[in-house]
Amino acid sequence: MFTGIVTDMGEVTRVEERGELRRLHIACAYPLESIALGASIACSGTCLTVVAATRRDNRTIFEVDAAAETLARTTIAQWTEGTRINLERALKIGDELGGHIVTGHVDGMARVVSRADFDNMARFVFEAPHELARFVAQKGSVTLDGVSLTVNEVEGDRFGVLIIPHTLGVTTLGVREAGDLVNIEVDLMARYAARLSGK
């Protein structure tokens, strides 16, 4: 489980194609000794399992595998050497829950429709896949590229969010532009509420 509070921006340093599996090497600022094999790290919102970790060129590098389903449902298929990604370590008992409950199970990809910058902030409009849009509610939570955000307004399949200067500076949302795709995870409570109501 995660909170959607990004703790580092990593960089993809190598991509290996292994049939239907893709091995990603990701540089980060986390201490090597703090990364256990089998640990879960949310990579731009996608929960991936660490299969190796080492130090190279004074940087911590961890490796994860992405299978066919993950590559089809997320932006990982577009990642290449140099791609910057948001990182978050899994929650531990006693950690502060600063965002909202995030599973790291990405539902699909949303598209940036527009971006308007003002006062060092940015107002984004995203378009969610139609089958996911019903789970996005005004003043509700949504996770985009692993970042917990509050929805400001909703119109059809489109919704708006306001990104404050801090978030623009410490996540990859700072470089997102119209036309870009981001990973979206809808709020878990919204999904269960819809299920219980039979919708």
Mean pLDDT for 98-112 is 91
The pLDDT assigned to 101 comes to: 83
The pLDDT assigned to 1 comes to: 87
The pLDDT assigned to 95 comes to: 75
What does the pLDDT look like over 15-28, one tens digit per residue? Answer: 999 999 999 999 99
Confidence of residue 100 (pLDDT cuts 50, 70, 90): confident
CATH 2.40.30.20 fits 108-197, yes or no: yes
**Has residue 124 got a pLDDT over 70?**
yes
Q: Reduce the secondary structure of the chain to three states and give it as a string.
A: CECCCCCEEEEEEEEEEECCEEEEEEEECCCHHHCCCCCEEEECCEEEEEEEEEEECCEEEEEEEECHHHHHHCHHHHCCCCCEEEEEECCCCCCCCCCCCECCCCCEEEEEEEEEEECCEEEEEEECCHHHHCCCCCCCEEEECCEEEECCEEECCEEEEEECHHHHHHCHHHHCCCCCEEEEEECHHHHHHHHHHCC
Looking at domain 8-89, its CATH architecture is Beta Barrel (2.40)
The pLDDT assigned to 198 comes to: 66
| Rounded CA separation 2/145 (Å) | 13
**Has residue 89 got a pLDDT over 90?**
yes
Confidence of residue 199 (pLDDT cuts 50, 70, 90): low
Mean pLDDT for 131-159 is 96
Stronger pLDDT, 11 or 195, i.e. the higher one:
11
Mean pLDDT for 98-105 is 85
| Rounded CA separation 182/110 (Å) | 5
The pLDDT assigned to 99 comes to: 74
The pLDDT assigned to 156 comes to: 96
| Rounded CA separation 170/178 (Å) | 20
Mean pLDDT of the chain: 94
Q: Determine how many CB atoms are found less than 10 A away from the CB of residue 73.
A: 16
Share of the chain above pLDDT 70, in %: 98
Ranges for all domains in the chain classified under CATH 2.40.30.20:
8-89, 108-197
